[in-house]
Amino acid sequence: MVLAVSYVGRIFADSSTALAWLRWLTPLGWIEELRPLADPQPLALIPIAACVLGCAGLTFLLAGRRDLNASLLQESEGRLGDTRWLRGPTSLALRLSGPTALAWLSGIVAFSALFGSVARSTADVLGSSPTFTAALGRLGVRAATEGYLSFALFLVDVLIAVFAASQIGAIRDEEAAGRLDNLLCRPVPRAWWLGGRLCVSLCVVVLAGLLAGFGAWLGATTHHTYAALPNLLAAGLNATIPGIFVLGAGALVFGVRPHFSAAAAYAVVAWSFLIDLLGSLFKGLDWLRDSSVFTYLKLALRRIQIGRPRASSSCSASPWPRSAW
């Protein structure tokens, strides 16, 4: 939550010179104000050091005063609630993963809506750069808005893939912590439990993609940027492909070496993101980029118009930043 608020604060601070003072209210803004490569400002180190020392001191103070089960934010006792619809391991998995999934979905929608809301102003800035326009043209992108929303949805790809990896970690934790024993001691086959758990995760991943597309459309529409909803929904579904792959890879490792399943799922995401980033910065790494799951994504946004809606728009194109197929 702190990271999200800091990131949003920095976005607003960078969106207008009148809001530049907001940078001093967010840790990410302090780092930006350092300007180490252009015009170093050591003064920005003061709030960074003060925040670190203040949080460390407050930690020791609270830890020294806290007694057992006496934290400032008390955990509420769990309630059994209505169990009539709990008919098997799949419905139980849906019940247990509901709060976590809801938090992820809310964050992805808010993230997409935020990027969609600044699409128009960002496109105007990016469109004024001939170098950026030429780079987009080589990728088959005809409008700056399209390129910007494509980059935003690429970040959604990463978020959904991380969520999928967290689901593999939750599956492994359910077994390692012994909670699974309460099901397997009954007539519940392990394959039935795992299949239901993966089915719930898969449905949440697909829903996250659709909501991401809807959030981007909602943010863009409310700020007078026309973007066809079907195109953005298709782009949202497109963003689920890495997450689905991570779920499958994690499930495979879980069946062979359960202890390494969570680490393997997160490793796929981290490796793919790192290699895709390095491949975009350095030439001659196409062979290495082929090992990134993000390399094979197709960009579903083909034509985004700012202003009045067009009679039709098409959907299919090339990915971020290229496709190797």
pLDDT single digits (tens) 116-133: 777 766 666 665 666 655
Whole-number Å distance between alpha carbons of 120 and 216: 12
- What's the whole-number average pLDDT of the chain? 79
Other C-beta atoms lying within 10 Å of the C-beta of residue 234: 20
| Better pLDDT: 319 or 276 | 276
* Alpha carbon separation from 132 to 168, 300, 301 (Å, rounded): 38, 20, 18
> Which DSSP symbol is given to 291?
T
| Better pLDDT: 79 or 249 | 249
* Alpha carbon separation from 260 to 39, 167, 169, 172, 188 (Å, rounded): 45, 14, 10, 9, 24
Decide if 272 contacts 161 (C-beta within 8 A). Answer: yes
pLDDT value of position 313: 39
How sure is the predictor about 192, in pLDDT bands with cuts at 50, 70 and 90?
confident
Region 266-295: mean pLDDT is 83
- Quick one: tokens of 77? 């006792």
Using CA of residue 134, residue 135, residue 139, residue 141, what is the dihedral sign?
A: negative
Whole-number Å distance between alpha carbons of 313 and 182: 53
Decide if 246 contacts 268 (C-beta within 8 A). Answer: yes
Residues of the chain above pLDDT 70, percent: 77
Least confident piece of the model among 56-60, 62-66, 79-83, 136-140: 136-140
Every domain of the chain and the residues it spans: 1-56, 90-325
In total, the chain counts a number of residues equal to 325
* Span 143-187, pLDDT tens digits: 556 666 777 777 888 899 999 999 999 999 988 888 888 888 878
Whole-number Å distance between alpha carbons of 47 and 10: 15
Least confident piece of the model among 154-158, 278-282, 285-289: 278-282
Using CA of residue 22, residue 26, residue 29, residue 34, what is the dihedral sign?
A: positive
Decide if 197 contacts 94 (C-beta within 8 A). Answer: no
| Residue entry with tokens 């670190």 | 52
Decide if 121 contacts 304 (C-beta within 8 A). Answer: no
Other C-beta atoms lying within 10 Å of the C-beta of residue 21: 10
Region 224-234: mean pLDDT is 78
Decide if 156 contacts 114 (C-beta within 8 A). Answer: no
pLDDT value of position 83: 65
SS3 assignment, position 46: helix
Other C-beta atoms lying within 10 Å of the C-beta of residue 106: 12
pLDDT value of position 9: 85
**0.85 exceeded by pTM:** no
Other C-beta atoms lying within 10 Å of the C-beta of residue 186: 8
Q: Is the pLDDT of residue 89 over 90?
A: no
